[in-house]
Amino acid sequence: MEFKFTLRELLVVTLTVAGVFTISYLLLPIMAMFPVFIYKPLLLTPVFSILVFMLINNIPKIGILAVFSFILSGVLFLLSPIMFFIPLTAALLVEGVIWVFFGGYNNIKAKIIAASLYPALQIPVALLFAILVIGGKYNKILANLWIVVLFTILSFLFGLSILTIFKRILSKNL
């Protein structure tokens, strides 16, 4: 298992984080229209899925998603300290799933599943941290946990479909 990253790879990761923030910032006015926080991740799913897929496809090493999330989390920490843990926890969960079931990012299926699962897992992780740290109105969501499960599955399927289309477009152009 190789966990070392070159300077070029770290630069690609940093540029990917910058891309996520730039596109997210451009989508901010649209996200402001959604009153409930659980709809917002669905809007960001295509952005995260495509950029994370491109990152994993360029640097198919276990740990790359954790490095990406650590840099992303560092910037998010400036916005809200609780946001530091959300992408990092989701990344560690995804890296674990990919390592256990695929042994790494060796094939396209593992890359697509990782890039689809990463934004989807941020929904329950964000809710869990919101309940633990903030409580209050977030505790009420526990009564309707099926909504969180539904949106997590929808986010995963949305990312999966976006990446399947993206893969077809790339394979036709190559």
Phi and psi dihedrals of 60, rounded to 5? -80, 60
Looking at the structure of the chain, the number of domains it has is 1
Q: What is the pLDDT of residue 79?
A: 86
Within a domain: 155: yes
Alpha-carbon separation of residue 120 from 26, 29, 49 (angstroms): 21, 22, 9
Q: What is the pLDDT of residue 2?
A: 57
Within a domain: 98: yes
Within a domain: 124: yes
Q: Whole-model pTM?
A: 0.87
Within a domain: 66: yes
Within a domain: 84: yes
Q: What percent of the chain has pLDDT over 90?
A: 55
Q: What percent of the chain has pLDDT over 70?
A: 93
pLDDT(1) > 60: no
Within a domain: 34: no
pLDDT(57) > 90: yes
Query: Once rounded to an integer, what is the mean pLDDT over residues 77-105?
Result: 93
Q: Which domain holds residue 103?
A: 40-173
Within a domain: 31: no
Report helix, strand or coil for 135. coil
Residues in the chain: 174
Within a domain: 11: no
Torsion 151-156-159-81 (CA) sign: positive
- Under a CB-based contact definition with an 8 Å cutoff, are residues 48 and 85 in contact? no
Question: Rounded distance, CA 85 to CA 81, Å?
Answer: 8
